[in-house]
Chain A
Amino acid sequence: MHVIVCVKQIPDPALPGELDPATNTLKREGKLILDESDGYGVEMALQLVTAAGGGEVSLVSMAPNDEVSGLRTALAMGAAKAVLVSDPALSGADALTTAKVLGAATKKLDDADLILAGTESSDGYTGTVPEQLAEVLGLPSVTFAKTVEVADGALKVDRQTEAGYDEVSCPLPAVVSVTAGVVEPRYPSFKGIMAAKSKPVETVTLGDLGIDAVSWAQQIVSVDDAPEREAGEVIEDDGEAFGKIVEFLDNLKVI
């Protein structure tokens, strides 16, 4: 079984991020780490390959400056190889462009039985790349998976909804977005870290993918600070405060 996982390498969220004033996009000049939300996709892929009794997990990613730090983490977890698209022309690319590029990157690998991705990245939060990738590749799209099972050559997914979950069946190959928190990503081991250094990472440009030029219509026209939180309402207890609290909670529709 061959599972391709789309992973994003992002600036460390623990460090203060900075926007490029010219493009209003996040600066990505330093070391990039594996997006935590993609750790779930990698873990699920590794578990599916184990359950299938064999195969491998490959990675596709798009990042500036030939950055591979985040990919090495996923390789240390157990993925076998990666394709990285790194091209200055992609700086500030929008979600649809990203999906087209990742779709082309998957063609550098053997055909996949399944393509997994996180539901959304922890920096951009567009939450649209997996569905667009499915469209680009002409594959079925299943979103918000909480469990994924492959049986008899078909896919069974429990798909998280607001009310519960849908049971979805779908032919393979398909693109599935994995909800955060549904599996416990393993820690890379010492041996995994050392082995990851010799695992193949093919770094390619747009030209290598046969893409002559890219352009996108989406622009971030302005960025505003989030409004400061307003002070809460203080209810002085005059003996009737409970009624006001009940009313307050009732208005919130939480009781």
Chain B
Amino acid sequence: MSDSVASSPFYTEDHDAFREVVRQFAEKEIAPHVHEWDLAGEVPRDLYNKAGAIGFFGDGFDEEFGGHGQRDALMRLVLMQEISRAGSGGVVAALLSNYIGLPPVQKFGSDELKARVLTPCMSGEAIAALAITEPSGGSDVARIRTTARRDGDHYVINGSKTFITSGMRADFFTTAVRTGGEGAAGLSMVVIDGDSPGLDRTPLDKMGWLASDTATLYFDDVRVPVENLLGHEGAGFSMIVNNFNPERIDLAAQSIAFARVCYEEALAWARERETFGKRLADHQVIRHKLVEMDRRINANQAWLELLAWRLNAGDDPVAEICEAKVDATLAFEFCAREAAQILGGASYLRGDTVERLYREVRVQAIGGGSEEIMRDLAGRQIGL
């Protein structure tokens, strides 16, 4: 990320080497194109192949299916933050839907299913998405209404999902369905192929993340082989809950990287722009804004690195990850606003990096669990 990372005790030469690769990848393959892709409403399909070639999708997945053969929360932090330097949450979301769609397949899928799903997703040939949220609710997953009725050696799926990242072109949907009665115990997870008859998709027009295809999905008697069930019937709720933790620290990591992009844009402008006979950076009111941004970024960065280290050590700091997501997105929101104030009119023009990130703040603070849900969950974890 920055000089502060270079002096962090957590990173090894492996992290540094992969950081350099992802940084170059973001600078050359992504940053020059983000506005064009925002206008197009999608990223080019071959970007997934290019990302797959450097091992972009592999953290936490078996080597035999094309993954890294290890889970390293610090490597993941590096990956999230370096790809975010390109300044587009939409591109990050599009590329990284694999990281929310595939972990349940890795943990609970059969080897046959892993070979069919993980292998093409690791190389970028295929895209996976996670389908949990429904039009009737998101975070309250125990009330999911989409049903999976057993019919011989198939499940028959009926219902709808919405706000699904990569929903328009995902090849596999890891989907929460109700196989049993009311409540959490009736939930299961199945993998639904993107080309299944009876599956329809509608694109969603959004405030931000424009380069990411987001969709509402409709399942009308979609038949899914029982082999696509992950784990056993009724195990879905814990899979969903456990899947949220990595997603939340990923979102926090991205948010702090985006906050730093805002800070660096503002800093460069403040050093260059002159008003009333001196640089913007020489006005105390602007200096304070910049220092306040840097302060919040550095504090969050230190916290994220410690959390990643604890995850690697086997700890499961659920409450702190919730808190870190809240603080990271608030810091990002603050930095996007202050950067816009410093950049002035330029930050109001479409195509400007801060303009894009200012809009994308909202989804970082809502997706993967809103601030309100995060605080509530942290409170319960603490035992309030």
Contact = CB atoms under 8 A, between A and B. Distances in A.
Interface stretch (A152-160, A163-171, A181-189): A181-189
B291 interface: no
A190 B53 contact: no
Nearest to A31: B16
Contacts of A73: 17, 20
Interface in A10-60: none
A191 interface: yes
A188 B14 contact: no
B21 A188 contact: yes
Chain B CB within 10 Å — which of A186, A187, A190 has the most? A190
A75 B116 CA distance: 31
Nearest to B66: A191
Interface string B98-132: 00000000000000000000000000000000000
A190 B68 contact: yes
A194 B56 CA distance: 14
Contact of B55 (A186, A190, A197): A190
Interface residue SS majority, chain B: helix
Contact of B54 (A72, A187, A194, A197): A187
Contact of B53 (A186, A193, A197): A186
B24 interface: yes
Interface in A181-228: 186-191, 193-194, 197
Nearest to B75: A190
A76 interface: yes
B303 interface: no
For chain B, give the interface size range.
10 to 19
Contacts of B25: 187
23 contacts: A73-B17, A73-B20, A76-B17, A186-B53, A187-B21, A187-B24, A187-B53, A188-B17, A188-B54, A189-B54, A189-B55, A190-B21, A190-B54, A190-B55, A190-B56, A190-B58, A190-B68, A191-B55, A191-B68, A193-B14, A193-B21, A194-B68, A197-B14
B14 to A, nearest CB: 6
A194 B24 CA distance: 18
A194 to B, nearest CB: 7
Contacts of A194: 14, 68
Chain A CB within 10 Å — which of B24, B53, B55 has the most? B55
B56 to A, nearest CB: 8
Chain A CB within 10 Å — which of B17, B18, B21 has the most? B17
B182 to A, nearest CB: 44
A72 B17 contact: yes
Nearest to A188: B21
A189 B49 CA distance: 12
A133 B21 CA distance: 31
A76 to B, nearest CB: 7
A76 B53 CA distance: 13
Nearest to A197: B14
B68 to A, nearest CB: 6
Interface in B21-48: 21, 24-25
Chain A CB within 10 Å — which of B18, B25, B56, B68 has the most? B18
Contacts of B55: 189-191
A189 B55 CA distance: 6
B72 to A, nearest CB: 10
A197 B18 CA distance: 13
Contacts of A188: 17, 21, 54
Chain B CB within 10 Å — which of A186, A188, A197 has the most? A188
A193 B12 CA distance: 12
B17 A189 contact: no
A146 B53 CA distance: 25
Interface in B46-69: 53-56, 58, 68
A194 B17 CA distance: 9
Interface string B59-93: 00000000010000000000000000000000000
Contacts of B24: 187
A159 B54 CA distance: 32
A72 B21 CA distance: 12
Chain B CB within 10 Å — which of A187, A191, A194 has the most? A187
Contacts of B17: 72-73, 76, 188, 193
